[in-house]
Amino acid sequence: MKIAQIGESILQQVATPVVEFNSVNLIEFIQAMLEQLKRSNGVGIAAPQVFDSRAIMIIASKPNPRYPHAPDMEPLVLINPAIKSTSVNKVKDWEGCLSVPGLRGLINRYEWIEVSYQDVAGKIYQVKFDGFIARIFQHEFDHLIGKTWLDQIESTADVMAESLWRETILSEIS
């Protein structure tokens, strides 16, 4: 499974809703996404990042070399996710992206969000995310609406080479 890189048209397209649930195709695709996410040391992935236009994302926060301070959680598959409400406050923090290799961006995101989504069987859930998990959701949700974190930066001063980020920002918080 190949990761789409910035500039590829699929990353600029709005994802299409999933209408067929519990299919072998859907289950196998989600498993392949999970395996790719683990191989890439990511904390989230969206279907457009692997050249699939369906509205599917996975949040799988855990400490790894790219995010050593990430909270640990079981992978969560969110199909047809929607944002229902958000905090008033936003928080700026650094983000990376499998589709934007070598760069980090300081992105302003909602502190918490309430969302709805469906699971692989089509059952609807509502949940509230906050902190880092809310950030992951918003980042992956951007991929489903044809955006990357580059569309969210307020200034080019908020972009840094990943190597410099590791040497400076990451070493400060370690």
Q: Record the pTM.
A: 0.94
Residue range 65-93: mean pLDDT, rounded? 93
**CB-CB contact of 139 with 98 (8 Å):** no
pLDDT tens, residue by residue, 116-137: 999 999 999 999 999 999 999 9
Q: Is 86 annotated as a binding residue?
A: no
Residue 173 has pLDDT above 80, yes or no: no
- Which CATH superfamily is 9-173 part of? Peptide deformylase (3.90.45.10)
pLDDT for 138:
98
Q: Is 69 annotated as a binding residue?
A: no
Which residue among 140, 162, 167, 172 is the active-site one?
140
Q: What is the mean pLDDT of the chain?
A: 95
pLDDT for 67:
81
pLDDT tens, residue by residue, 102-112: 999 999 999 99
Q: Active site includes 140?
A: yes
Q: Is 143 annotated as a binding residue?
A: yes
**Structure tokens that stand for 36 in this block:** 């790719």
* 106: three-class secondary structure by DSSP: strand
Residue 174 has pLDDT above 60, yes or no: no
Higher pLDDT, 40 or 116: 116
> Poorest-confidence range of 26-30, 57-61, 168-172?
168-172
Q: In the chain, how many H helices and how many E strands?
A: 4, 8
Query: Going by C-beta distance under 8 Å and a sequence separation of 6 or more, which residues neighbour residue 61?
Result: 43, 44, 67, 70, 71, 72, 73, 132, 133, 136
pLDDT for 147:
98
